[in-house]
């Protein structure tokens, strides 16, 4: 069954590592729907969040290949239900289109969006949510004249309670028996 999966990858912060990771996707013809990179809660450990649409079997194998990379600490995959996730969207709307101001403001409020800046020629709206929600707001803003639209990749935290630091500890134990 094809579903959306969130892949969380914890890595060292080295140049070129993103490339090493993405070639694992391309080689297996798995399209990357979105990608976000940031620091994690552990100092010096980076967190990549990929979203893919694929079958679990394929994703499982993909994640093993990623975790095999020397500079990757840990890699996991999750279904949507196992994560709490958000994306942020920015909409640049022409002020010329805002003649019927009341409707516009109500729309913003109903969507739990907010006005980020107001300039002479345009306003910028910000909305955080799932893709369907930011997409719906885009649809409803179109009549006002959307000049630009940008949506971030997914950021996600997971529901299981095991923490990265305890995974790192387990890795250390495996490494200790080597020396």
Q: Which residues bind another protein (CB under 8 A)?
A: 11-12, 14, 16, 19-20, 23, 27, 60-61, 64-65, 67-68, 70-73, 168, 171, 173-175, 177-179
Q: Between 54 and 134, whose beta carbon lies closer to another protein?
A: 54
Q: Between 81 and 175, whose beta carbon lies closer to another protein?
A: 175
Q: Between 121 and 172, whose beta carbon lies closer to another protein?
A: 172
Q: Between 60 and 106, whose beta carbon lies closer to another protein?
A: 60
Min separation Cβ 74 and another protein, Å: 9
Min separation Cβ 157 and another protein, Å: 21
The strand pairing partners of 16, in sequence order, are: none
Min separation Cβ 172 and another protein, Å: 8
């Amino acid at each position: 069954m094809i579903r959306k999966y969130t892949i969380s990858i914890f890595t060292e912060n080295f140049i070129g590592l993103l490339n090493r990771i993405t070639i694992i996707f391309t080689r297996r013809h798995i399209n990357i729907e979105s990608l976000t990179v940031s620091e994690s809660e552990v100092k010096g450990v980076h967190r990549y969040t990929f979203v893919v649409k694929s079958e679990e079997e394929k994703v499982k194998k993909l994640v093993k290949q990623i975790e095999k990379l020397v500079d990757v600490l840990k890699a996991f995959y999750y279904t949507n239900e196992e994560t709490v996730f958000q994306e942020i969207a920015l909409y640049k709307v022409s002020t010329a289109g805002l003649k019927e101001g009341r409707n516009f403001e109500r729309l913003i409020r109903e969507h739990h969006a907010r006005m980020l800046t107001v300039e002479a020629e345009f306003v910028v709206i910000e909305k955080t949510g799932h893709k369907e929600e930011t997409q719906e707001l885009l649809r409803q803003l179109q009549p006002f004249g959307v000049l630009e639209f940008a949506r971030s990749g997914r950021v996600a935290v997971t529901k299981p309670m095991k923490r990265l630091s305890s995974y790192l500890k387990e890795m250390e134990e495996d490494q200790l028996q080597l020396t």
